[in-house]
Amino acid sequence: MSNRQRATVIAYGAKVSGVFSFRLDLAIAHYRHTLAELLAGLQRNLEEIEDRQPPPAPTPSPAGTRTRQASGRQASGRRGVGAAGGGPGLVAAIHANGLRV
């Protein structure tokens, strides 16, 4: 049949599937004016992942010295959207990759 409709398929491979899906979600959020909801959902996902992380292992210290263990979390109890060690936040990372927020 010559009038059969076919689905549009985009092949992008397993290596870039996460990046492609994120950029598609971001583009749709811009179009629908739901960017704030997308960022809030990403923040919730990050907090859930951080809550499941085991506590950091104690650092071995030389004999006779005393050390305090740091939890790696800020005073609020959350790392926020920055990377471990105080890296850029989620919005800054999006801007760094050339995406508009």
Which pLDDT value is given to residue 35? 95
Sign of the dihedral through C-alpha 31, 32, 34, 39 = negative
d(CA 6, CA 92): 39
| 44 within a domain of the structure (yes/no) | yes
- The amino acid at residue 16 is V
| 81 within a domain of the structure (yes/no) | yes
pLDDT (tens digit per residue) in 41-88: 999 999 999 999 988 888 887 765 555 554 444 444 444 444 454 555
Q: How many domains does one find in the chain?
A: 1
More confident residue, 94 or 1: 94
- The DSSP annotation for the chain comes to -TT----------STTHHHHHHHHHHHHHHHHT-HHHHHHHHHHHHHHHHHHSPPPPPPP--TT---PPP-S--TTS--TTSPTTT---HHHHHHHTT---
28 has pLDDT over 50:
yes
More confident residue, 84 or 40: 40
pLDDT (tens digit per residue) in 1-17: 567 788 888 888 888 88
| 92 within a domain of the structure (yes/no) | yes
Domain assignment of residue 91, given as a range:
9-53+77-101
Which pLDDT value is given to residue 88? 56
